[in-house]
Amino acid sequence: MTVEHVNECDQRNNRVTFCGERSAMPSAISVAGESNRLDLGSGGKLAGLQVTVKGSRNRLMIGDDCILNGRIIIKGDAQTVRIGARTSFQNVSVYSVEGCDVTIGEDCMFSKRIEIRTSDSHSIIDRATGLRLNRPGSVTIGDHVWIGLEAVVSKGVRVPDNSIVGAKSFVNKSFHEPYVLIAGAPAAIIRRNVDWDRRLLPVEPELALRQA
């Protein structure tokens, strides 16, 4: 099914629900499988988003007032990608595969060329046992998270609420403490007790001098 209209359901029970103007719909939606459901919120701009679903009983939920540009790929069965209200991203790739989910909270801001993935897409094998070592895992990103340019959020990771992920960071382990700045490859906490704002606020002169 290739979707061009709002509130569409095909013969295989794949349904897309979108509450908004046609011009704000994703630029491309491709669904192959059965009983998939895409619920796209109102008030946002999704015209730069490409959605691909290959499998059955999957669900994509996008909250209200989101501005999303990039691609969301779901391959497998019974997986969920959930993006909270007022989240924005530019040229971001989200991969939900191998039975794992991706959850992104509300009021998140992601920069360009970011990847969020539940799998490495290829296998790392123990030569002694022949077993695969790199297991897939669901990804959870909390509310009010800012992720910088070209960061990668890897499989099985949790990023806490009210946190910042620095540019080009590789996040390959979970963090649970809120109000932290995470950066590096691999990522680590480099500062605590910080928050962020979409507005570019003025710098207090005394504070700027102390930090110089």
Catalytic amino acids? 122
Q: Using H for helix, E for strand and C for coil, what is the string for 9-65?
A: ECCCCCEEEECCCHHHCCCEEEEECCCCEEEECCCCEEEEEEEEEECCCCEEEECCC
Burial of 133 (0-12, 13-18, 19+ CB in 10 A): exposed
CA distances from 187 to 22, 36, 37, 172, 198 (A): 40, 35, 34, 7, 23
Q: Given the structure tokens 């003025």, which residue do they identify?
A: 202
